Amino acid sequence: MQLDPIEDFHRSVAQLRLAKRPFAVATIIKVDGSASAKTGSKAIFDEKGINLQGWVGGGCAERFIGEQVVESLKENKTRIVLADMDDEILGLGVACGGRMHVFIDPLLPAEQVRLPLVPRFEKETRLIAGACGWHIEWGERKDDLSFPDLFQDMAKTIALQRGKSGRPLRVNGTATSGLSARKVALIGRSRITEAMARHFSLLGFQVRALAPFLAKEDYPSNVKCDCLEGSYDQIEFAPDEAVIVASHTAQDPHLVENALKAGAPYVGMIGSQKRVVEVQNHLGIARAEDLDARLHLPVGLDIGARNPEEISLSIAAEILGELS
Protein backbone atom coordinates (compact mmCIF):
# COMPACT_ATOMS: atom_id res chain seq x y z
CA MET A 1 0.00 0.00 0.00
CA GLN A 2 1.43 3.31 -1.10
CA LEU A 3 1.66 5.99 1.58
CA ASP A 4 0.23 9.45 1.10
CA PRO A 5 3.23 11.71 0.22
CA ILE A 6 2.50 14.11 3.07
CA GLU A 7 2.15 11.30 5.61
CA ASP A 8 5.33 9.72 4.28
CA PHE A 9 7.21 13.02 4.62
CA HIS A 10 6.13 13.56 8.23
CA ARG A 11 6.86 9.92 9.07
CA SER A 12 10.41 10.44 7.81
CA VAL A 13 10.75 13.53 9.99
CA ALA A 14 9.55 11.56 13.01
CA GLN A 15 11.97 8.71 12.29
CA LEU A 16 14.91 11.10 12.04
CA ARG A 17 13.92 12.71 15.33
CA LEU A 18 13.70 9.31 17.02
CA ALA A 19 17.10 8.39 15.59
CA LYS A 20 18.47 11.68 17.04
CA ARG A 21 19.94 12.67 13.70
CA PRO A 22 20.49 16.35 12.82
CA PHE A 23 18.60 17.43 9.72
CA ALA A 24 16.69 20.36 8.26
CA VAL A 25 13.44 20.87 6.39
CA ALA A 26 13.67 23.28 3.44
CA THR A 27 10.42 24.82 2.21
CA ILE A 28 9.90 26.97 -0.88
CA ILE A 29 7.98 30.02 0.36
CA LYS A 30 8.01 32.15 -2.80
CA VAL A 31 8.81 31.68 -6.48
CA ASP A 32 9.54 34.46 -8.97
CA GLY A 33 9.60 33.51 -12.64
CA SER A 34 10.12 30.00 -13.92
CA ALA A 35 11.19 27.24 -11.50
CA SER A 36 10.62 23.51 -11.39
CA ALA A 37 9.70 23.53 -7.69
CA LYS A 38 6.60 25.40 -6.59
CA THR A 39 5.61 27.36 -3.50
CA GLY A 40 5.10 24.90 -0.67
CA SER A 41 7.52 22.30 -2.04
CA LYS A 42 9.57 20.68 0.74
CA ALA A 43 12.64 18.53 1.17
CA ILE A 44 14.53 16.94 4.06
CA PHE A 45 18.32 17.44 4.07
CA ASP A 46 20.80 15.71 6.37
CA GLU A 47 23.71 17.30 8.21
CA LYS A 48 25.92 16.94 5.11
CA GLY A 49 23.45 18.78 2.91
CA ILE A 50 22.20 15.65 1.15
CA ASN A 51 18.55 15.58 0.07
CA LEU A 52 16.97 12.60 1.83
CA GLN A 53 13.41 13.13 0.68
CA GLY A 54 11.30 15.68 -1.15
CA TRP A 55 11.85 18.14 -3.97
CA VAL A 56 12.99 21.78 -4.00
CA GLY A 57 14.29 22.06 -7.55
CA GLY A 58 16.95 20.72 -9.87
CA GLY A 59 20.61 20.03 -9.25
CA CYS A 60 21.84 23.63 -9.09
CA ALA A 61 19.15 24.70 -6.61
CA GLU A 62 19.39 21.52 -4.54
CA ARG A 63 23.16 21.83 -4.19
CA PHE A 64 22.89 25.47 -3.08
CA ILE A 65 20.13 24.71 -0.56
CA GLY A 66 22.11 21.77 0.80
CA GLU A 67 25.06 24.09 1.47
CA GLN A 68 22.77 26.52 3.28
CA VAL A 69 21.37 23.67 5.37
CA VAL A 70 24.87 22.76 6.58
CA GLU A 71 25.46 26.35 7.73
CA SER A 72 22.01 26.59 9.31
CA LEU A 73 22.63 23.44 11.34
CA LYS A 74 26.01 24.75 12.51
CA GLU A 75 24.34 27.92 13.81
CA ASN A 76 21.14 26.15 14.91
CA LYS A 77 19.20 29.05 13.43
CA THR A 78 16.47 29.22 10.83
CA ARG A 79 17.22 31.21 7.71
CA ILE A 80 15.54 32.41 4.53
CA VAL A 81 17.77 32.21 1.48
CA LEU A 82 17.39 33.27 -2.13
CA ALA A 83 18.18 30.69 -4.78
CA ASP A 84 18.69 32.87 -7.86
CA MET A 85 18.68 30.64 -10.94
CA ASP A 86 18.50 33.51 -13.42
CA ASP A 87 21.92 35.07 -12.76
CA GLU A 88 25.00 33.20 -13.95
CA ILE A 89 27.39 35.52 -12.12
CA LEU A 90 25.75 36.57 -8.84
CA GLY A 91 23.31 33.68 -8.59
CA LEU A 92 23.88 29.93 -8.74
CA GLY A 93 26.14 30.15 -11.77
CA VAL A 94 23.67 28.57 -14.19
CA ALA A 95 20.87 30.44 -15.92
CA CYS A 96 18.15 27.90 -15.17
CA GLY A 97 15.48 30.59 -14.82
CA GLY A 98 13.53 31.97 -11.87
CA ARG A 99 14.21 32.80 -8.24
CA MET A 100 13.13 30.81 -5.19
CA HIS A 101 12.92 32.03 -1.62
CA VAL A 102 13.60 29.11 0.70
CA PHE A 103 12.91 28.78 4.42
CA ILE A 104 15.36 26.43 6.18
CA ASP A 105 14.38 24.99 9.55
CA PRO A 106 17.23 23.14 11.30
CA LEU A 107 16.21 20.30 13.61
CA LEU A 108 18.93 19.13 15.96
CA PRO A 109 18.67 16.34 18.53
CA ALA A 110 17.39 17.39 21.95
CA GLU A 111 19.85 19.53 23.89
CA GLN A 112 21.72 17.58 26.57
CA VAL A 113 21.32 19.32 29.94
CA ARG A 114 23.02 18.07 33.10
CA LEU A 115 20.76 18.57 36.12
CA PRO A 116 21.06 17.50 39.75
CA LEU A 117 18.98 14.48 40.73
CA VAL A 118 16.52 15.29 43.48
CA PRO A 119 14.46 12.08 43.77
CA ARG A 120 11.34 13.65 45.27
CA PHE A 121 11.20 16.17 42.39
CA GLU A 122 12.25 13.84 39.57
CA LYS A 123 8.78 13.87 38.00
CA GLU A 124 8.62 17.68 37.98
CA THR A 125 12.17 17.92 36.61
CA ARG A 126 11.34 15.58 33.74
CA LEU A 127 8.12 17.50 33.05
CA ILE A 128 9.89 20.86 32.76
CA ALA A 129 12.86 19.50 30.82
CA GLY A 130 10.62 17.63 28.39
CA ALA A 131 8.51 20.72 27.71
CA CYS A 132 11.67 22.77 27.12
CA GLY A 133 12.93 20.16 24.66
CA TRP A 134 15.92 19.02 26.74
CA HIS A 135 17.38 15.57 27.25
CA ILE A 136 18.35 15.18 30.90
CA GLU A 137 21.75 13.92 31.92
CA TRP A 138 21.55 13.33 35.66
CA GLY A 139 24.30 14.86 37.74
CA GLU A 140 24.97 14.79 41.47
CA ARG A 141 22.19 13.56 43.75
CA LYS A 142 20.97 16.33 46.06
CA ASP A 143 18.29 15.09 48.42
CA ASP A 144 18.04 18.34 50.40
CA LEU A 145 17.59 20.73 47.46
CA SER A 146 14.26 22.56 47.51
CA PHE A 147 12.17 22.73 44.37
CA PRO A 148 12.55 26.54 43.98
CA ASP A 149 16.33 26.14 44.28
CA LEU A 150 16.27 23.31 41.75
CA PHE A 151 14.18 25.47 39.41
CA GLN A 152 16.67 28.33 39.64
CA ASP A 153 19.50 25.85 39.10
CA MET A 154 17.88 24.84 35.79
CA ALA A 155 17.92 28.47 34.61
CA LYS A 156 21.55 28.91 35.66
CA THR A 157 22.59 25.67 33.97
CA ILE A 158 21.02 26.48 30.62
CA ALA A 159 22.40 30.04 30.71
CA LEU A 160 25.93 28.77 31.37
CA GLN A 161 25.61 26.09 28.70
CA ARG A 162 24.60 28.69 26.11
CA GLY A 163 27.19 31.26 27.13
CA LYS A 164 24.62 33.68 28.55
CA SER A 165 24.98 35.86 31.64
CA GLY A 166 21.98 34.52 33.58
CA ARG A 167 21.42 38.07 34.85
CA PRO A 168 18.16 40.04 34.58
CA LEU A 169 17.37 41.44 31.14
CA ARG A 170 15.90 44.62 32.65
CA VAL A 171 17.29 47.91 31.38
CA ASN A 172 16.68 49.96 34.51
CA GLY A 173 19.33 48.91 36.99
CA THR A 174 19.10 46.82 40.13
CA ALA A 175 15.71 45.73 41.39
CA THR A 176 14.49 46.83 44.82
CA SER A 177 11.10 45.13 44.83
CA GLY A 178 9.42 44.21 48.09
CA LEU A 179 7.89 41.01 46.76
CA SER A 180 7.15 38.65 49.64
CA ALA A 181 3.95 36.75 48.79
CA ARG A 182 3.89 33.87 46.32
CA LYS A 183 1.19 35.45 44.20
CA VAL A 184 1.29 36.32 40.51
CA ALA A 185 -1.13 37.79 37.96
CA LEU A 186 -0.54 36.78 34.34
CA ILE A 187 -2.02 39.25 31.86
CA GLY A 188 -2.62 37.95 28.34
CA ARG A 189 -3.29 34.70 26.57
CA SER A 190 -0.44 32.89 24.83
CA ARG A 191 1.69 29.77 25.05
CA ILE A 192 4.01 31.78 27.30
CA THR A 193 1.28 32.60 29.84
CA GLU A 194 0.15 28.98 29.79
CA ALA A 195 3.73 27.84 30.50
CA MET A 196 4.08 30.43 33.29
CA ALA A 197 0.85 29.23 34.86
CA ARG A 198 2.21 25.67 34.95
CA HIS A 199 5.58 26.71 36.35
CA PHE A 200 4.22 29.03 39.03
CA SER A 201 1.67 26.41 40.06
CA LEU A 202 4.46 23.86 40.49
CA LEU A 203 6.32 26.43 42.60
CA GLY A 204 3.35 26.86 44.94
CA PHE A 205 2.21 30.31 43.81
CA GLN A 206 -1.35 31.57 43.82
CA VAL A 207 -1.90 32.28 40.12
CA ARG A 208 -4.41 34.50 38.36
CA ALA A 209 -4.67 34.41 34.56
CA LEU A 210 -6.53 37.33 32.99
CA ALA A 211 -7.34 37.81 29.29
CA PRO A 212 -10.24 37.82 26.82
CA PHE A 213 -11.25 34.40 25.51
CA LEU A 214 -9.32 32.41 28.09
CA ALA A 215 -9.69 28.66 27.76
CA LYS A 216 -9.60 27.26 31.29
CA GLU A 217 -8.64 23.82 30.04
CA ASP A 218 -5.27 25.26 28.93
CA TYR A 219 -4.36 26.08 32.53
CA PRO A 220 -3.80 24.02 35.69
CA SER A 221 -6.98 23.46 37.70
CA ASN A 222 -5.73 25.55 40.64
CA VAL A 223 -5.22 28.65 38.47
CA LYS A 224 -7.94 31.29 38.79
CA CYS A 225 -8.92 32.19 35.22
CA ASP A 226 -10.68 35.52 34.63
CA CYS A 227 -12.08 35.67 31.12
CA LEU A 228 -12.28 39.39 30.33
CA GLU A 229 -14.93 40.74 28.01
CA GLY A 230 -12.93 42.31 25.21
CA SER A 231 -10.81 44.73 27.22
CA TYR A 232 -8.10 44.76 29.87
CA ASP A 233 -9.40 48.00 31.43
CA GLN A 234 -11.44 46.20 34.08
CA ILE A 235 -8.42 44.53 35.76
CA GLU A 236 -7.87 45.35 39.41
CA PHE A 237 -4.32 44.74 40.59
CA ALA A 238 -3.41 43.71 44.14
CA PRO A 239 -0.57 45.31 46.14
CA ASP A 240 0.87 41.95 47.20
CA GLU A 241 1.15 40.12 43.87
CA ALA A 242 3.70 40.13 41.07
CA VAL A 243 2.29 41.20 37.70
CA ILE A 244 3.48 39.92 34.32
CA VAL A 245 2.10 41.84 31.34
CA ALA A 246 2.12 39.56 28.32
CA SER A 247 -0.93 40.75 26.39
CA HIS A 248 1.13 42.19 23.50
CA THR A 249 -1.39 44.95 22.79
CA ALA A 250 -1.33 48.73 22.64
CA GLN A 251 -2.70 48.65 26.20
CA ASP A 252 0.50 47.19 27.68
CA PRO A 253 2.03 50.53 28.83
CA HIS A 254 -1.31 51.46 30.40
CA LEU A 255 -1.46 48.12 32.22
CA VAL A 256 2.09 48.59 33.51
CA GLU A 257 1.16 52.03 34.83
CA ASN A 258 -2.00 50.72 36.53
CA ALA A 259 -0.10 47.88 38.20
CA LEU A 260 2.46 50.34 39.59
CA LYS A 261 -0.26 52.68 40.83
CA ALA A 262 -1.93 49.75 42.61
CA GLY A 263 1.30 49.12 44.52
CA ALA A 264 2.35 45.87 42.86
CA PRO A 265 5.81 45.05 44.22
CA TYR A 266 7.02 43.52 40.95
CA VAL A 267 5.84 44.45 37.45
CA GLY A 268 7.32 42.76 34.40
CA MET A 269 6.49 43.06 30.72
CA ILE A 270 7.42 40.66 27.95
CA GLY A 271 8.65 42.50 24.89
CA SER A 272 11.46 44.00 22.88
CA GLN A 273 13.53 47.09 23.56
CA LYS A 274 11.07 48.98 21.37
CA ARG A 275 8.25 48.06 23.77
CA VAL A 276 10.40 49.29 26.67
CA VAL A 277 10.65 52.69 24.95
CA GLU A 278 6.85 52.70 24.54
CA VAL A 279 6.46 52.30 28.30
CA GLN A 280 9.02 55.04 28.94
CA ASN A 281 7.17 57.41 26.65
CA HIS A 282 3.81 56.54 28.19
CA LEU A 283 5.15 57.23 31.68
CA GLY A 284 6.90 60.41 30.53
CA ILE A 285 10.36 59.18 31.52
CA ALA A 286 13.32 60.14 29.34
CA ARG A 287 15.89 57.55 30.46
CA ALA A 288 15.37 53.82 31.01
CA GLU A 289 17.50 53.90 34.16
CA ASP A 290 14.99 56.32 35.73
CA LEU A 291 12.10 53.85 35.50
CA ASP A 292 10.52 52.63 38.73
CA ALA A 293 12.76 50.05 40.45
CA ARG A 294 9.80 47.66 40.67
CA LEU A 295 9.71 47.47 36.87
CA HIS A 296 11.38 44.64 35.01
CA LEU A 297 11.57 45.68 31.37
CA PRO A 298 12.07 43.37 29.63
CA VAL A 299 11.19 40.71 32.17
CA GLY A 300 13.21 37.53 32.75
CA LEU A 301 16.80 36.35 32.92
CA ASP A 302 19.32 36.20 30.10
CA ILE A 303 19.40 32.44 29.46
CA GLY A 304 19.10 32.40 25.67
CA ALA A 305 15.46 31.25 25.85
CA ARG A 306 14.30 29.61 22.61
CA ASN A 307 10.66 28.68 23.23
CA PRO A 308 7.70 29.62 25.48
CA GLU A 309 8.68 27.12 28.19
CA GLU A 310 12.20 28.54 28.44
CA ILE A 311 10.90 32.13 28.43
CA SER A 312 8.64 31.14 31.32
CA LEU A 313 11.58 29.48 33.09
CA SER A 314 13.60 32.69 32.83
CA ILE A 315 10.74 34.78 34.25
CA ALA A 316 9.83 32.46 37.12
CA ALA A 317 13.51 32.10 38.07
CA GLU A 318 13.86 35.89 38.20
CA ILE A 319 10.81 36.24 40.42
CA LEU A 320 12.09 33.52 42.75
CA GLY A 321 15.27 35.55 43.11
CA GLU A 322 13.22 38.61 44.08
CA LEU A 323 11.28 36.94 46.89
CA SER A 324 12.23 38.28 50.31
Q: What is the pLDDT of residues 25-63, one digit of tens each?
A: 999 999 998 777 899 999 999 999 999 999 998 878 899
pLDDT in tens, 80-91: 999 987 655 444
In this predicted structure, what is the pLDDT of residue 301? Answer: 96
54 closest CA partner among 10, 98, 99, 100: 10
pLDDT in tens, 208-231: 999 998 989 999 999 999 998 867
246 closest CA partner among 317, 180, 322, 191: 191
pLDDT band at 97 (very low <50, low <70, confident <90, very high): low
CATH number belonging to domain 183-299:
3.40.50.720
Parts of the chain belonging to CATH 3.40.50.720:
183-299
In this predicted structure, what is the pLDDT of residue 87? Answer: 57
pLDDT in tens, 261-312: 999 999 999 988 888 899 999 999 988 888 888 999 999 999 999 999 999 9
Q: Give me the mean pLDDT over the 103-129 stretch.
A: 96
Please give the full DSSP string across 288-322, using - where no structure is assigned.
GGGS-TTEESS-SB-S---SHHHHHHHHHHHHHHH
Three-class secondary structure of residue 272 per DSSP: coil
Q: Give me the mean pLDDT over the 235-254 stretch.
A: 93
Q: Is pLDDT at 94 greater than 90 in this prediction? A: no
Q: What rounded mean pLDDT belongs to the chain?
A: 91
pLDDT in tens, 176-208: 667 888 999 999 999 999 999 999 999 999 999
pTM score, two decimals?
Answer: 0.84
In this predicted structure, what is the pLDDT of residue 175? Answer: 60
